[in-house]
Chain A
Amino acid sequence: MRIAFFRTLLELAEQDKRIHLVVGDLGFGAVEPFAERYPDRFLNVGVAEQNMIGIATGLALSGKIVFVYSISNFPTLRCLEQIRNDICYHRASVKIVASGGGFVYGALGMSHHVTEDIAVMRALPEMVVVAPGDPSEVELATRAVASHSGPCYLRLGRTGEARVHQKNVSFQLGKATLVRSGKDVTLISTGALLETAFQVAEELEEQGVEVRVLSMHTLKPLDSEAVLVAARETQAIVTLEEHSLIGGLGSAVAEVLAESSEVQVSFKRLGIPSGFSSCVGDQEYLRAVHGLSKNGIMQSLRPILSLIER
């Protein structure tokens, strides 16, 4: 995902001279092509996230389109009030990009587990929140946030995720992307769990369950229409996210369902229960610990599948 992002950013920067890249002393092995090609549009502010967001806002209020890049919780939680008051209130064209969503940096410990960012960013007025599902979505999301006129948060995974979409993807901010059709159950996934969601759907297919998979890359504004359609057309909705169960995709979808009077659908949220991880480990390991491996998800789906009429 990181590669797709920087490749796309470079292309965009070539076409649009307003595009700047501001980093907080991070991005080794990734930011160099941009820094070398556009030294006048690149800035490393040092390990100083609060200052970084203020500077980005100032640049944006002077006509620039500013991509701010860092990893983990540093460009979000570390400078939250600057994001709210400076970027969001002024509706500045700053795009916050964070690598390492979820447990990408699992072994690095609590400080590097990115598990509340969506909830926090979603709560901020004006902020558009995007967590693309695979590298092809990253490319399109990067273009989309660049042309959106206000604040955006782009949550990336790591380097080297598989491409999930086989053909050309249709991508629109605020519109879920249909990855796979099905009429029994809908799996709604956000971020890099998309590949796992797809694998779960394939496996269920073999068991005779037809699974619709939606990539909910935009968490805000949420595509409530796609949620309601799924609630009408399928018997169960399950949300999948490498994020806390509080305030993320599951919460957003629950809000839509709870306020709709017409639909009756089984509903389950899969994600990370609130609480710090008691141990460390790589991404695959920590996903499994929290029930987010393919097998873990299959197991959690059992009760809901037993209710489905085929």
Chain B
Amino acid sequence: MRSFKQLSSLAKKIRTHVLKMTHRAKSAHVGTSLSMADLLAVLYGGILRVRPKEPDWPERDRFILSKGHGCAGLYAALAEVGFFPLSWLEEFYQNGSILAGHITHYVPGVEASTGSLGHGLSIACGMALAGRREGKSYRVFTLMSDGECDEGSVWEAALFVPHHKLDNLIAIVDYNKIQSLGTVKDVLDLDPFAAKWKAFGWAVREIDGHDYKAIEDALKNIPFESGKPSCVIAHTVKGKGVHFMENSLLWHYRSPNAEELECALKELEEAL
């Protein structure tokens, strides 16, 4: 496991790539990549048992990005830990590229393609079930968004996992409180969110999704309860790390222009 300083440096690199990639591509969905950057840093900074040089290693932990529009963040993390060359990030979103604007399994290290919300947890169910039936020790992680939890399929899967006692499955929700047309509170309130997961039979922890220690504490102690799947509700800030992108619906859509990019990179650089 990397030190907190190293995790912070990895997260900073992820954010820097995300800003440059979305600027170059003139693509949307910056906010979601920034809100989960710290979660990704901890996951790929030591929690996930993966081998970047052997992406298909059968014993690897599986990680599914269910909120596929956060792909820039995941591509950046995968490149930083060595699944593919950093130079590939320049191809993001470009004509002829495989680095699509929603996460795709054409890219090494990507377990499953998503883009339509509410698919990832179900795929994770299947992988966790297969792992258990084969007596494997790998774990299956999926990272979802809060808006995604509007989908009925999420709750179908949420019922399934505890019923089958899949304690090798970990669902993380990037609870940044904003979706596509407004705040989660205004569009479709999820609260009491943790209570819902608990009622469905999950062991739940609520953490600050930008606090490395809290993230690591949670993800190192899986399963939270033997025989139960684990749910991590990570309270986050959409657009985290760049003040003018934070908590702003607009930055679900906009990409930074040259001036904004410079400003944002400076802010990241100056942050502790």
A residues at B contact (CB < 8 Å):
23, 25-29, 31, 44-51, 73-74, 78, 105, 107-112, 278-282, 285
Contacts and interface: CB of A to CB of B under 8 A. Distances in A.
B152 A51 contact: yes
B239 interface: no
A280 B150 contact: no
10 contacts: A25-B179, A28-B252, A44-B181, A47-B148, A73-B116, A107-B101, A109-B100, A111-B68, A279-B95, A281-B97
Given A280-B99, A281-B94, 19 more contacts: A25-B150, A25-B187, A26-B180, A27-B181, A28-B180, A28-B252, A28-B253, A45-B188, A47-B150, A47-B179, A48-B151, A107-B27, A109-B68, A109-B100, A110-B113, A111-B114, A112-B115, A281-B96, A281-B97
Contacts of A108: 100-102, 115
Contacts of B68: 109, 111
B179 A110 contact: no
A110 B151 contact: no
B181 A109 contact: no
A114 to B, nearest CB: 12
Interface residues of B, number: 34
Contacts of A285: 95-96
A47 B180 contact: yes
B114 to A, nearest CB: 7
Contacts of B150: 25, 45-48
B118 interface: yes
B138 interface: no
Contacts of B187: 25, 44, 46
B76 to A, nearest CB: 17
Contacts of A28: 180-181, 249, 252-253
Contacts of B97: 279-281
A111 B102 CA distance: 8
**Residue with the highest number of chain B CB atoms closer than 10 Å, among A28, A44, A78, A109:** A109
A49 B148 CA distance: 11
A227 to B, nearest CB: 35
B176 to A, nearest CB: 14
Contacts of B102: 108-112
B241 interface: no
B194 interface: no
A47 B96 CA distance: 30
A27 B94 CA distance: 25
A46 B147 contact: yes
A25 B94 contact: no
A47 B101 contact: no
B56 to A, nearest CB: 20
A279 B152 contact: no
B117 interface: yes
B25 interface: yes
A48 B152 contact: yes
Given A25-B147, A45-B188, A280-B98, A107 B182 contact: no
Q: Which 5 A-B pairs have the closest CB atoms?
A: A111-B115, A109-B100, A46-B188, A46-B150, A281-B95
Nearest to B71: A109
Given A46-B150, A47-B118, A280 B180 contact: no
A280 B103 CA distance: 12
A26 B116 contact: no
B104 interface: yes
Nearest to A25: B180
Nearest to A111: B115
Interface string B174-186: 0000011110000
